[in-house]
Chain A
Amino acid sequence: MAEPMGTISGNRGLQIEEPLIFEQGSPVKTAVDLPPANPPKGSDRLGSARRRGPIGLPGLSEPEAVRHYLRLSQMNYSIDSGLFPLGSCTMKHNPRLNESVVRLPGLGDLHPLQPVSTVQGALALIHELAHWLKTLTGLPAVAMSPGAGAHGELVGLMTIRAALESRGDPRKRVLVPESAHGTNPATAAACGYVVEAIPADARGRVDLAALRTKLGPDVAAIMVTNPNTCGLFETDMQHIADAVHAHGAFFYCDGANFNAIVGRVRPGDLGIDGMHINLHKTFSTPHGGGGPGSGPVVLSKELARFAPVAYVVEDDGGFSLVEHEMHSDGKPIGRIKGFHGQFGMFVRALAYMMSMGGDGLRQASADAVLNANYILAELRDDLSAPFPGSCMHEAVFDDRFLKDTGVTTLDFAKALIDEGIHPMTVYFPLVVHGAMLIEPTETESKASLDQFVRTLRGLAQRAKAGHCTYFHEAPRMAPRRRLDETRAARNPVLRWRPGSNPVTASKIGKAAE
């Protein structure tokens, strides 16, 4: 009889299988000791709305709960673990100074509806951050309240629509290049516009001739990502701006890739009317498993008066908050979020900006572009690059180098996981076949880039040598092998239910052997 190969528990050394909280503990346990309630006698004021049955939450002690989440954390790759070269996502180092200042008493614990006289420091901070953003972008105004980049896009488009309507010139179409982020067309559609795509030219940039033929009196705006998602600077920005403005339309820019040009190019100088800034990308606030984000939108003078409430204004006595349309000098589109914006992200972003300074931010964009070009240059012969010349802060490759190997872009990415590196963005941008988009950012050292290059070269050689089973079976050494996404979508299991889905010994045993 063969020796068993797997472990009994399903664990593999430090790689621990962790059940759901619902499969642990007991309903009577709690990890929070609360003071006694001592309500006055007969004081129930819940009326007929009082809860009558149990909720069904599990109960754990503090050690059990801490161990649970610590184990879960160990199943995550993060920027603190290593290179996280996701193109278009700007996964740079998250300084811990930011985390410490955001928790200071007097910042983290502030209530949004304290009397304005008691939050002058917070309003001064928002005002200061706004100054940095306006200076870096060369635009005169900024709406601070959007909750994330895509939310900022929506607010930007809403201000454009409001501006057009106030001119008595409502328009119907928004032009979006194929190289744009997926949120761009979704945003334009969400804002009530018909979306039309503009093709990319052979150089991976907006096809200016195609753009010109699509412009007309019913075009409200064009949305361009610059640098674009092919990692390239849109060289014709000023021509695009002139053409768009000549037709009475607005020029909106997706600022998700601002990291490449901070301190070197001011979007306002390119003729842009509005651009959101993903504070969590460009200015280092933590991505936290997908959020929270923060997406202030810089605006031209014409769009500024449509900026949503709430916003900060400086007056003789200090700072005040305009929280209602009726108190505004402009014509706000209204309110787009509760309270005044993602203040915690403002604190982190400003702490980062002050730590870097004007000089450091300029050096950061240089290093981000240098790192990406180094990768492009080192790998151009081993992988395949769809566009000639240099790139900005991200390098895009296509899958021609995998032709006839039986290895797909996805297989190639999954093999990187076994090498201890997070895969790059794959199959995006859509205009590049089998795309691999690599954004190293400025916080990677040369040593880490060299190791990354060696690893990708080695994998490319293995693929070309015909080891396709190796790639199809990757990853082997991650907490999970490839997951069945089709099954998840076809039969959605979106929550735990009593009696469902236990981690059975037989399942673990089968996996282990």
Chain B
Amino acid sequence: MRYLPLTDDDRNAMLAAIGVGSIEDLFGDVPPTARLQGPIDLPPHQDEMSVERTFRAFAARNLSPSAAPCFLGAGTYRHHIPAAVDHLIQRGEFLTAYTPYQPEIAQGTLQYLFEFQTQVALITGMDVANASLYDGATACAEAVLMSGRITKRKRVVLSGGLHPHYRATAETYCRFLGFHSVSLPPSWAGDEDPADRIDGDTACVVVQNPDVFGRVRDYSDLAQACHGQGALLVIVVNEVVSLGALLSPGEMAADIVAGEGQSLGNAPSFGGPTVGLLAARARFVRQMPGRLVGETVDADGRRGYVLTLSTREQHIRREKATSNICTNSGLCALAFTIHATLLGEAGFTRLAELNHGRACALVERLAEVPGVSLLNETFFNEVTLQLPTAAADVVERMAGKGVLGGVPVSRLLPAWPEVDRLVLVATTETNSDGDMDAFVAALRESL
């Protein structure tokens, strides 16, 4: 039991100092009927080597994307993470620190969160960002609730291009919080016009860019249509690297941006933990949920940082709080901010171009595969292919050949048989020419 420092001598001395005979006496407030009689039915403690072996065995039963050509996206993206990122986030002073409740000895955390807020605001083109939420889907749901607080309206229009997990999460929150959500049908054909669905009761319209089918679009007109009716435009971005190449939501006049920051600095990790991004116009800041770091000065006049505007938060306002959120994604936000810092303006825009270039190269290679067509007019690093046969079967056969060939749309939209032959294919800087050869070969053989 290497994590427990007390010796039996220590324990006895401490029990004597307290004035009790045994540990059991300290559990005296627990009624005997509530106490577990006998040992718990779980295996005993194990040495470090044995635990390591167990986890290697778990890992060995999975197909590791590091060992296979991987073309999976749909909200989680595999990007190269510079070695310095993981090295720095594992420093104990970051890894094992807590919420910065004592700012004088948490300036490291507070300053990087202030830098994170600034980077997110810059990348999204918004005025302010918070210090992160759980993930993109919950950030999207919180953006919806925020729009309700701002507009005092409760009708929400969710685009058919929104990631189905984000839609489902927003719908759950809406149902329990008295919102009315209008979900447009999945828009694989790209002919959706959410502007038609705005009315005088609409709090917000939520669209995604690139949308879940990979299309990119300038939503400036939609923003105008929203604002004409007093509604807000929420733009969701779940591939944040795209913002190195695309007009930012801010430039399209979005009011709130909800995003997933996993692409910068964070491993896919089977879908979590990741880092939810939330950015908005400055005038909405007091309706923004989650933690915020602000700049101030200390008693000596030196610049420093503190958690601020906490009057919106649960520990001050309890049942009147803006949200019940307590935790943020501090360490994931740190990974994001370090990766963004390492990239800088030049690296970030180049990384985006590289991602787009790889996707263009893959699309060009698809001409070699008969029967496969491309749905997208536009895209960033992810496209939707139409196959001659059920996509889930093709992807399964490709996996059998050691290629992670894409996400069948039916996995995300099982209620829509129309999508059965569609597959989402994402390409990042991690996909080499050799990966693309393997993809094309496996796809041809699996159709």
Contact = CB atoms under 8 A, between A and B. Distances in A.
B97 A289 contact: yes
9 contacts: A109-B66, A124-B61, A189-B319, A269-B36, A290-B100, A355-B3, A358-B42, A445-B10, A479-B105
B51 A150 contact: no
Interface string B82-107: 10101111111111111111111111
Contacts of B209: 49
A417 B105 contact: yes
B117 A495 contact: yes
B189 interface: no
B199 interface: no
B322 to A, nearest CB: 9
A466 interface: no
B346 A59 contact: yes
B272 A337 contact: yes
A281 to B, nearest CB: 10
A60 B44 contact: no
B55 A104 contact: yes
Contacts of A482: 104, 298-299
A77 B294 contact: no
A380 to B, nearest CB: 10
Interface string B1-33: 111111000110111011110010111111101
Nearest to B178: A192
B1 A356 contact: yes
B94 A58 contact: no
Interface stretch (B108-116, B153-161, B226-234, B438-446): B108-116
Interface string A338-356: 1111111101000101111
A510 interface: yes
Given A80-B96, A377-B17, A422-B105, A31 B62 contact: no
A443 B338 contact: no
A94 B95 contact: yes
A407 to B, nearest CB: 17
A269 B169 CA distance: 32
Contacts of A445: 5-6, 10
A47 B325 contact: no
Contacts of B45: 354-357, 359-360
B84 A121 contact: no
B419 interface: no
B395 to A, nearest CB: 6
B108 A76 contact: yes
Given A192-B177, A290-B109, A265 B172 contact: no
Nearest to A237: B34
B295 A493 contact: yes
B163 interface: yes
B308 interface: yes
A456 interface: no
Contacts of A135: 40-42
A422 B102 contact: yes
The interface residues of chain A, by DSSP majority, are classed as loop
B51 A60 contact: no
B65 to A, nearest CB: 5
Interface in B58-80: 58-67, 70, 72, 74-76, 78
A180 to B, nearest CB: 9
Leading 5 A-B pairs by shortest Cβ distance: A288-B331, A339-B271, A121-B61, A112-B271, A80-B92
Contacts of B123: 55, 57
Nearest to B135: A338
B96 A266 contact: no
B58 to A, nearest CB: 4
Nearest to B308: A488
Contact of A46 (B103, B136, B245, B411): B245
Contact of A489 (B176, B294, B301): B294
Contact of A121 (B62, B135, B330, B379): B62
Nearest to A29: B344
A400 B415 CA distance: 64
A360 B131 CA distance: 36
A444 B10 CA distance: 12
Interface string B281-302: 0000100000111111111111
A75 B107 contact: yes
B134 A151 contact: yes
A110 B94 contact: no
B447 interface: no
Contacts of A109: 64-66, 78, 267-269
Contacts of A233: 27, 29-30
A322 to B, nearest CB: 11
B303 to A, nearest CB: 6
Contact of B301 (A280, A494, A510): A510
B224 interface: no
Contacts of A1: none
A65 B84 contact: yes
Contacts of B55: 101, 104, 107, 347, 351
Interface string A261-279: 1011110011000000000
